Chain A
């Protein structure tokens, strides 16, 4: 897509890694987890084992649905993948960088440049326009970006999610689906390699969910790795791989050969009456 070509400077990635996953089995994984455990200390001597010795690989361009009952450790895993939290034990590589050896600021740079995080509750700054919300990650980018370039890139990202005409609106003047798309634009603006979404469609109706999913599929075609947590099994056919967690362990890890098109499914639903 044009936008990815335009947003090309921040992260250097060898062209071979952008090739869709079906062909490139031998390429080093984008993410590798080795016996990752996470134990929460809840005080009073009680500890919760949210993740138990999980080992996993994610390849470039892969799309993953992360499922499991409430409390199974999905959000905990996503926070670790997003470098927002650190595991209690185990090893974790992102782009061959061993994340656990990084400092707090280095992890922040990693989040800024390589990871886009999308939350169930959008997490936009409320009294700030959509454009400024999208510009925010660029403020913290290591490379110096001029105000004009920032604005241009933010507008391109908003255009990509179909919200160019809402750039000046504040989040409270936008619908839930629109807010989530602003959040996606914000996640994309620094051209990350990985998009992590924790129940991105949890607050959206089924039509809007498919819109968002169609957008994700475009990004996957561009070579992004997308991992999304969902409670809705009907979304799984649109993603290549399904991971099911239970009590902090992987219960099932399955791939499908044929992935449905969310855009077509959305078109089939038609408009709301």
Chain B
């Protein structure tokens, strides 16, 4: 019986001996795996975002997104097109009888400072009736008023996560927090909402008047979404038609022009989100496949070189009694180790890259455990499949010819 443990040691030694080359060999795998992890994390982040949007909706809510219908029928993240104005939101509320509230939304990912503590969170600009739309009660304090919205006052209503992270549980009402130097006075604290279906924390939120959000925080001019509430579920269809007509008229769209916005109900969004994530997963899987293929070819290439380089070693091992399968196993284990080490490095780099994208890119990201497990498994499989041919070549060498090789 050949001792399996020793093959591992032999392979590890061979890798250590050529550390630089081993590292370069696995570069393909490292890049492939880290790219997959980063992309899947961004995809998952987007999905969690959509999911959160869906579950954030209150009853009888219609969302109006800017831009034409996008991939899978839902606008991910929103704000990609600048077609919805604050005036559109006001017009929807004032001119359509079925609508009882409309809030033009603007979001910004920002670092928030209180004293010597700081926290990265998401700041929402909304109208005064937003909490009514969301049916979201306050735990303490009050919501800002229409007058405060009109005057773009620097006031904020904060979620439970903010109370915990910035104020360490103390009463934040009346305190001043800063967003890039802009002071905001806390006037209200939201009730705990808990996790959304996807596991994103909805309490990690600060709500400010949309005027403040547009002018003083985000610098944007157009709404990322308009949250609309209809007085009764029976009026949803008619409200939807009226909103469409109104916006087409306001945007002066000719009869043959497509909508430059899209109106969606909660159910539609939920269905579209599922579709989106399916398409996204497919896309990412194919990218993963290609990068793994490239990485595998790199490993095969180096293993073939390695077999040629170490022909004499193989000859010596055969001469002292190694079977073909021992040599096969030795080189196979080496290839698998290489790709698995590459996979682990790729996972680490992917995790770091994901955090950087989330932090500097102001993008929601969710590191996917499934992606990590899949990337690791695939890299091991790549090692086995692409290491097999060189290993087989090594195991079939003739001992005398191998010994004569120089």
Contacts and interface: CB of A to CB of B under 8 A. Distances in A.
The judgment on whether A and B are partners is: yes
Interface of A: 79, 82, 84-85, 104-105, 108-109, 111-113, 117, 119, 123-125, 127-128, 136-137, 139-145, 147, 186, 190
Nearest to A127: B17
Contact of B316 (A112, A123, A144): A123
A85 B5 CA distance: 30
B319 interface: yes
Tell me the interface secondary structure of chain B in the complex. helix
A195 to B, nearest CB: 13
29 contacts: A84-B319, A84-B399, A85-B400, A104-B324, A108-B318, A108-B323, A111-B319, A111-B321, A112-B321, A113-B321, A117-B320, A123-B312, A123-B315, A123-B319, A123-B403, A124-B316, A125-B316, A128-B13, A136-B317, A137-B321, A139-B326, A140-B317, A140-B321, A140-B323, A140-B326, A142-B1, A144-B3, A145-B3, A190-B321
B403 A139 contact: no
Interface centre among A111, A142, A144 (most CB of B within 10 A): A111
A85 B400 CA distance: 7
Contacts of A117: 319-320
B321 A108 contact: yes
A105 B323 contact: yes
B400 A144 contact: no
A137 B313 contact: no
Given A111-B321, A137-B321, 14 more contacts: A84-B319, A84-B399, A119-B403, A123-B315, A123-B316, A123-B403, A125-B316, A127-B17, A139-B3, A139-B6, A140-B322, A140-B326, A142-B1, A186-B320
Contacts of A127: 17
A108 B400 contact: no
Q: Please provide the 10 A-B residue pairs with the shortest distance between their CB atoms, ordered closest to farther.
A: A112-B321, A137-B320, A140-B321, A140-B322, A111-B321, A105-B323, A108-B321, A144-B1, A123-B316, A84-B399
B360 interface: no
Contacts of A112: 320-321
A38 to B, nearest CB: 12
Interface string B117-149: 000000000000000000000000000000000
Contact of A139 (B2, B316, B319): B2
